[in-house]
Amino acid sequence: MSEKWKNKIKTGGIWGGMTAIISNLFRLADHVSFEDIFFTYRFLLELLVFLVVGILFFSGGFNVKPKE
């Protein structure tokens, strides 16, 4: 695997992980326990979705420019 792809996967993975964690931290303001937020299947599903979207976005899987 080339360094270019390793960098894209690492960047997309970090973005996805941080987005999932930060978005769920807002639920702590609703006085929901830490365990109820981060140790559930819902969080794992959100994390997986954000990771896949982040990797696809940073690898060019989603392209906002029209093809010529």
Using DSSP, state whether 64 is helix, strand or coil.
Answer: coil
- What pLDDT shows up at residue 4? 79
According to the model, what pLDDT value does residue 57 have?
80
Q: Dump the DSSP string for 17-51.
A: HHHHHHHHHGGGGGT--HHHHHSSHHHHHHHHHHH
Asked whether the beta carbons of 51 and 9 are under 8 A apart, the reply is no
At 12-67, the pLDDT tens digits run: 889 889 999 998 888 888 888 888 888 989 999 999 999 998 888 877 765 666 66
Q: Do the Cβ atoms of 54 and 19 come closer than 8 Å?
A: yes
Angle at CA 43, nearest 5°, toward 40 and 47? 145
Domain map of the chain by residue range?
Answer: 3-59
pTM for the model stands at: 0.74
